[in-house]
């Protein structure tokens, strides 16, 4: 029951984030939306791993989280270099 509610809320979050990704209005908004979408996917996968006790997927979660972190750092550096993104 709790996992179903968590996955439903993550689904709503994903829909709202995709809406922000499409609408913009700035590149920085889209970058933040992609970061939130990656985090939402990792959270959804973590819920699925917890529900189905699929422990071999933990490595995939770790890689996705690491890619999200690298993307965040890259986006921050890019935004710092380019003033027109704001």
Q: Where are the domains of the chain?
A: 2-85
How far apart are alpha carbons 50 and 61 in whole angstroms? 12
Architecture of domain 2-85: Orthogonal Bundle (1.10)
Q: What is the DSSP letter of 25?
A: S
Q: Specify the pTM.
A: 0.80
**Over the stretch 8-59, which tens digit does the pLDDT of each residue have?**
999 999 999 999 999 878 878 888 898 899 999 999 989 988 898 888 888 8
Q: What is the pLDDT of residue 1?
A: 86
Q: What is the pLDDT of residue 36?
A: 92
Helices (DSSP H) in the chain: which residue ranges?
2-23, 27-52, 58-81
Q: What is the pLDDT of residue 6?
A: 93
Q: What is the pLDDT of residue 84?
A: 59
Contact (Cβ atoms closer than 8 angstroms) between residue 42 and residue 29: no
């Amino acid at each position: 029951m709790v996992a179903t509610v968590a996955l439903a809320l993550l689904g709503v979050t994903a829909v709202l984030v995709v809406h922000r990704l499409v609408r913009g209005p700035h590149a920085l908004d889209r970058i933040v939306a992609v970061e939130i979408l990656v985090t939402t996917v990792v959270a959804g996968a973590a819920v699925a791993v917890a529900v189905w006790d699929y422990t071999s997927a933990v490595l995939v979660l770790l890689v996705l989280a690491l890619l999200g972190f690298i993307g965040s750092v890259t986006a921050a550096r890019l935004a710092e270099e380019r003033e027109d993104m704001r």
